[in-house]
Amino acid sequence: MFQWDEEWNISFAGCGFRSIYYLGALSCILERVPQLVHGASKICGASSGCLVAAALAVGIPIEQFCVDVLNVAKEARKHTLGVFHPTFSLLRTVRESLLEKLPEDAHLRASGKLCVSLTRLADGKNVLVSEFDSRDELIQVLMCSCFFPVYCGFIPPSYRGVLYMDGALSNNMPLFEQRNTITMAPFSGESDICPTEGTFNFFEVHYGNVSIQVNTGNVHRVCTSFLPPRLEKLAEICHNGYMDALRFLRERDLLGTQCLPPSLVSEMDAIILVPFICEVAVDQPLCTKQYLYEYICCLYVCVIVLCEACRESHDGVSWWSQLAEFLPVKLVLYLLSLLMLPIELTFLLAKR
């Protein structure tokens, strides 16, 4: 039984593009037991998890964060090499989004509430930051926690004159050691909210204070965390987060302890939207009428993701997209991209 009379924290592990898992989980909690989020003493995170924590701490609606994840994934997929293309900077894209979305008093809202994990470059020690003197300083801390060497570039960002890198490298689950901390991770293991794995688990490892079972499902999850998935895959991850959070609430006997807020999607909206989306996404494996009815009624954020996925799939069916699916054509396109890299890199350096 959850102890409401004690202080509790929420901690998000770093997981790259799979952070949309948290949006599904949070939409479930905010819909059914919102006090579990609003009453948390500290909201913690490392790497991409700190962006989710920051959004909660400063009051950014999760649907806005959801749209940002979609836009970054779509932008990265436009390039042949994805996030590794020299003209695409994941860290710059995240920074521009933070400058646009964070309110002017974000540092005041976050101070004392948000806890960000950093890894000091000089000695690899972990540093937890919970106080921010300005909005720019808050953005610097978030950028430091998200900087994964090579993947995000070669020059690490700094905070108060000290170089830092990805907080997940030293502590991927801040404040996990405190008894009343609710931990979330999109990898099956011992976190409070995480996927359950039906396959055989060889053994379990602990990386950055996150429990990760060694199985084929987690190998796939870890490897694809660094690559932008297709939008329908993001919708599936988001939905899994919702269902895992719902299971957590049931196991902790938290359902029914709070009054439910008005539904984000009314029954009439669901009746209207279900046939429409099923018609648009008839060929999508995720889109069955029963699945979508549950999807829309319980998870508004995931509906946004699914609609985007279905729209992209529906609009993208052309002779060129079909032709590009053939292996010889793919190989030619990749070869042309590699030949163009020196030219694009030279242009990028000249522009800077």
Q: What span, in angstroms and rounded, lies between the C-alpha atoms of 142 and 147?
A: 9
Tell which phi-psi region holds residue 77, choosing left (phi > 0), alpha (psi between -120 and 50) or beta: alpha
Residue 39 burial (10 A CB sphere; 0-12, 13-18, 19+): exposed
Residue 87, H or E segment:
none
Q: Could you confirm whether 47 is annotated as catalytic?
A: yes
Q: What span, in angstroms and rounded, lies between the C-alpha atoms of 13 and 49?
A: 5
Tell which phi-psi region holds residue 290, choosing left (phi > 0), alpha (psi between -120 and 50) or beta: alpha
* 181 three-state secondary structure: strand
Q: Which residues contact 263 (CB under 8 A, 6 or more apart)?
A: 31, 297
Q: DSSP for 113-143, please give it.
A: TEEEEEEETTT--EEEE---SSHHHHHHHHH
Among 166, 170, 211, 225, the active-site one is 166
Among 19, 27, 47, 170, the active-site one is 47
Cβ neighbour number for residue 71 with a 10 Å cutoff: 13
Q: Could you confirm whether 145 is annotated as catalytic?
A: no
Residue 101 burial (10 A CB sphere; 0-12, 13-18, 19+): middle
Strand partners, 212: 205
Structure tokens at 21: 């898992």
Q: How many CA atoms lie within 13 A of 276 on its CB side?
A: 11
Quote the strand ranges of the chain, DSSP E.
9-12, 42-46, 114-120, 126-129, 158-159, 162-166, 181-184, 203-207, 210-214
* 27 three-state secondary structure: helix
Cβ neighbour number for residue 210 with a 10 Å cutoff: 25
State the catalytic residues. Answer: 47, 166
